[in-house]
Structure 1
């Protein structure tokens, strides 16, 4: 039974473009259709070859953006079900939240933004909206996937109100106003926290697998120390290496249960009765307990110091950024290097001309970016060989 504060597809603010006859394509409600449109789009498939933590990993077991998005969706859907939220909207938001990432993840973004600063720069969250409302074009009557307002709002604001929207967010908001100054649905807030839970734990898992994280240092962190103690107490005779999977599962459970308790408490304290009550609350409704939230912030600092900014990762990031910067220079200097279908749509004037080229580069997978760099500019070698 849905909770009264759950988003209701029958009460959605609808789509930018009317879709008469859509009911002939199966008994799905509006949010289910959004989820399915995301799963079937080309940009979602390309996440299979985009960086999560490790660029062009030489181990098939590391996460990529696609597997990360699926894991976020599993966690988000579990939380939504327990809270009586709309599971389909939550899942759609979880699956789509990283679609705007360029090749090489945050390293790619750090190169794209300055390369196109003169035309507004690049922001992956805003680019998610641009991909879903403009770049994807599978329908004959309009550009974009024509998702519901509720899904677009959640993707725009899943991290909270947008005080200073970048140009791509401004364009999406101008076409279909998304109330950027308010909080989003509880489903969107849950999707953002499911993302935190997934990458905290799965990046930890991948970092241990790569040999870049020290297990003793890791399990001393307050956020995860209790989970490690519980697992080792349950399985005292097992080798520590065989406890990692159970440790990760235990910690996900700890964070999910804390989030459920914290959110239920805030719903009661804030008097949330409808979806719009959450939007008007002026503060997040979905939240960890204050104690766990502080531990999670400290854990992120540990992960930045010991994994994301590890010397191996810094070396790879520098090479990845060079690839993106070189591609940006090459395509801006000579747009005839673009594929024919991208040349055909190339705007004549700036800033749209540069933004169109940025769209093309942002859509690349890691391996396609490396291939184009080798073809147009020259060889590039990424450091590999994890311990």
Structure 2
């Protein structure tokens, strides 16, 4: 692979938390390729297919889940990484794993868990991703966790930038395997974070239109989308509106990807190593100022019109109540979690609360609904709106 000097190099990896001697027995893969493969083969990754992206427990087959979103992020991340001559395998691993710590029902579930855990350190989905991959997902006989490389764990911990005040989960993991939380992460991690933004900025438009929460007229109040729509009408005058809408989403992704590559490439002039990337005072990967302003405008629009739509907020309240009542039930009667998890409940706080949160955070939407029904007899009305 023709890597740039500022790219992460698996041959120079800082290693893994637990030393192993059998890596070469499973094929001629780099450290980052093995990380990606361990993530893909994990149970935690498979569970993403049943976790909320935008819509809670949707009945329709065409809406995105955390799994399909993560695959789309990985596709965008690899395109950008290849253009910038970064390590594509590390970028892909980070993109695929970045949402593994999300509990059921998306941000509504996270807020409910955080409230339930307020006296015990709180809950954060990003730290839970690290906790899941480093401690909970344990298919190996020699150690806990997937034992991913330092670079992958660092990128997951800091893909949104340095962490000045880590919560309890990230602090515990960092104490066991220091990740230099105060420094900027690799370019691969920075690209993964931006690929996530590009994917959900645009694909959530697609799902919002499909569900009827967004309309074309609303979208065209954004000047940059209106301009692109008019261009598509001129280019495809006889195409059905549905096809032009999908073309609009694809076009916006292409514009953002091309801008990201060009703006980042310009910032990398004179950067000669991955170490220099981590020593900078700010991110090197990013959009141009004009595209950054446009992307921020789109995000505000999406929060106002989709994520904070009254119907969405109503469903979120119901979903949060499901998570809160499950937590209270397991806290009162741990046996409800089943023999495996109930048999490992710590006797003291905060470990007891964190164990219950680990159990709930791993649930899919469907499993949480099934557990709620088994405990309380019925599921509350209004748990989905699509």
* TM bucket, shorter chain: over 0.9
* Counterpart position of 1:382: 382
Which runs of structure 2 are paired with 1:161-240 in the superposition (5 Å)? Answer: 161-240=162-241
How far did residue 383 of structure 1 move?
4.8
Q: Secondary structure at the match of 1:73?
A: helix
* Counterpart position of 2:336: 337
Q: Secondary structure at the match of 2:268?
A: helix
The answer to whether the 8 Å contact 1:227/1:247 transfers is yes
Which runs of structure 2 are paired with 1:63-74 in the superposition (5 Å)? Answer: 63-74=64-75
The alpha-carbon distance between structure 1 residues 37 and 358, as it changes in their structure 2 partners (threshold 3 A), is same
List per-residue Cα deviations over 1:155-210 (Å, max 9, x = no partner).
00000000111111101101100000011000000000000000001000000000
Tell me if 1:145 matches 2:146: yes
The answer to whether the 8 Å contact 2:158/2:185 transfers is yes
CA–CA distance in structure 2, aligned partners of residues 181 and 68 of structure 1: 29
* Counterpart position of 2:42: 41
How far did residue 230 of structure 1 move?
2.6
Unaligned regions of 5+ residues in structure 1, if any?
none
Which runs of structure 2 are paired with 1:273-352 in the superposition (5 Å)? Answer: 273-352=272-351
CA–CA distance in structure 2, aligned partners of residues 357 and 385 of structure 1: 28
List per-residue Cα deviations over 1:103-125 (Å, max 9, x = no partner).
00101001000111111110000
* Counterpart position of 1:156: 157
List per-residue Cα deviations over 1:278-314 (Å, max 9, x = no partner).
1101100000001110111111111011000112111
The more displaced of 227-236 and 4-13 is 227-236
CA–CA distance in structure 2, aligned partners of residues 96 and 192 of structure 1: 11
CA–CA distance in structure 1, aligned partners of residues 99 and 272 of structure 2: 30
Q: Secondary structure at the match of 2:114?
A: helix
List per-residue Cα deviations over 1:324-370 (Å, max 9, x = no partner).
00001100111121211112221111111110000000101001101
The alpha-carbon distance between structure 1 residues 99 and 384, as it changes in their structure 2 partners (threshold 3 A), is closer
* Counterpart position of 2:112: 111
The answer to whether the 8 Å contact 2:57/2:383 transfers is no
The answer to whether the 8 Å contact 2:163/2:182 transfers is yes
CA–CA distance in structure 2, aligned partners of residues 6 and 227 of structure 1: 34
Q: Secondary structure at the match of 1:103?
A: coil
How far did residue 223 of structure 1 move?
4.5
CA–CA distance in structure 2, aligned partners of residues 223 and 165 of structure 1: 38
Unaligned regions of 5+ residues in structure 2, if any?
none
CA–CA distance in structure 2, aligned partners of residues 342 and 23 of structure 1: 34
The alpha-carbon distance between structure 1 residues 19 and 222, as it changes in their structure 2 partners (threshold 3 A), is farther
Aligned length: 384
* Counterpart position of 1:356: 355
* Counterpart position of 1:77: 78
How far did residue 25 of structure 1 move?
0.4
Q: Secondary structure at the match of 1:179?
A: coil
CA RMSD of aligned residues (A): 1.1
* Counterpart position of 2:137: 136
Q: Secondary structure at the match of 1:98?
A: coil
The more displaced of 116-125 and 238-247 is 238-247
CA–CA distance in structure 1, aligned partners of residues 328 and 339 of structure 2: 19
TM superposition score normalised by structure 1: 0.97
The alpha-carbon distance between structure 1 residues 346 and 383, as it changes in their structure 2 partners (threshold 3 A), is closer
CA–CA distance in structure 2, aligned partners of residues 30 and 233 of structure 1: 49
Which runs of structure 2 are paired with 1:238-257 in the superposition (5 Å)? Answer: 238-257=239-258
CA–CA distance in structure 2, aligned partners of residues 340 and 99 of structure 1: 24
CA–CA distance in structure 2, aligned partners of residues 222 and 60 of structure 1: 32
CA–CA distance in structure 1, aligned partners of residues 81 and 224 of structure 2: 23
CA–CA distance in structure 1, aligned partners of residues 37 and 226 of structure 2: 39
CA–CA distance in structure 1, aligned partners of residues 377 and 284 of structure 2: 51
How far did residue 384 of structure 1 move?
4.3
The answer to whether the 8 Å contact 1:34/1:151 transfers is yes
Tell me if 1:57 matches 2:74: no
CA–CA distance in structure 1, aligned partners of residues 260 and 304 of structure 2: 26
